[in-house]
Amino acid sequence: MNSNLRHEYLQAMGIQQWVARNSDSASSNADSDAGIAVARPEVEQVSAETLPAWQALEARVSACTRCVLHESRTQTVFGTGNRNADWMIVGEAPGADEDKQGEPFVGRAGQLLNEMLFAAGYRRTDVYIANILKCRPPGNRDPSADEVACCEPYLQQQITLIQPKLILAVGRIAAHKLLHTTTQVGRLRGVVHHYGEQRIPLIVTYHPAYLLRSPLEKRKVWEDLQFAQAVHEQQLAS
């Protein structure tokens, strides 16, 4: 993202100044804005110890026929990003673009997610992105309880392998399924929830697709990202 686009996005969110999460990020972004080419990893990062487990899991997902969604999918959408990431982003399910490309958050909502992350000091390759479902529900309908149950072990294993320090649940479906609640997203925001036996801190925010329909809510998402950063920094300091 160039500096003008970043400025426009932050301005739209009501943010006057962006501060990087650390000096390394600030230096990298300054180099990029100055027109200096900065090397970025183009492949998923993974440790040698967990590589066989990742390969086996991805193969199982690719061949999965546990629910009816396998009948209508173009391909499964496993996940993408840094497999040693501190932050894990969990969304709802693949859409039409994701079903075609096999990667989560690649449509308009995905572009906005990238901008949200960049505003918080992260690039897409710094985090790991996955969905509750690995296959697209026809017509982008809400996932059924059976479909979520079939996919849940895959997401749980991804979380176990990554061991993120923070999970960001984007949208109603992700928040409800991860937290086993029906509480409105607006009431789940601004609170540190915890996921699983490891009690991984979990922060809830709005889905980028919702922001495309309700752009005035971008300010709230910026507040959520700042809150997530503060929780993460507190973890690192403890």
pLDDT at 51: 84
pLDDT at 28: 37
Q: Within the chain, which residues score under 50 in pLDDT? A: 1-2, 12, 14, 16-43
CATH number for the domain whose boundaries are 51-237: 3.40.470.10
Measured CA to CA, the distance from residue 99 to residue 138 in angstroms comes to: 10
pLDDT at 50: 75
pLDDT at 8: 53
pLDDT at 48: 61
pLDDT at 15: 53
Q: Where are the domains of the chain?
A: 51-237
CA atoms within a 13 Å half-sphere pointing along the CA-CB vector of 160? 11
pLDDT at 11: 58
pLDDT digits (tens, 9 = 90+) for 21-39: 443 433 333 333 333 232 3
Measured CA to CA, the distance from residue 220 to residue 46 in angstroms comes to: 33
> Cα torsion for 211, 213, 215, 221, to the nearest 10°?
-20
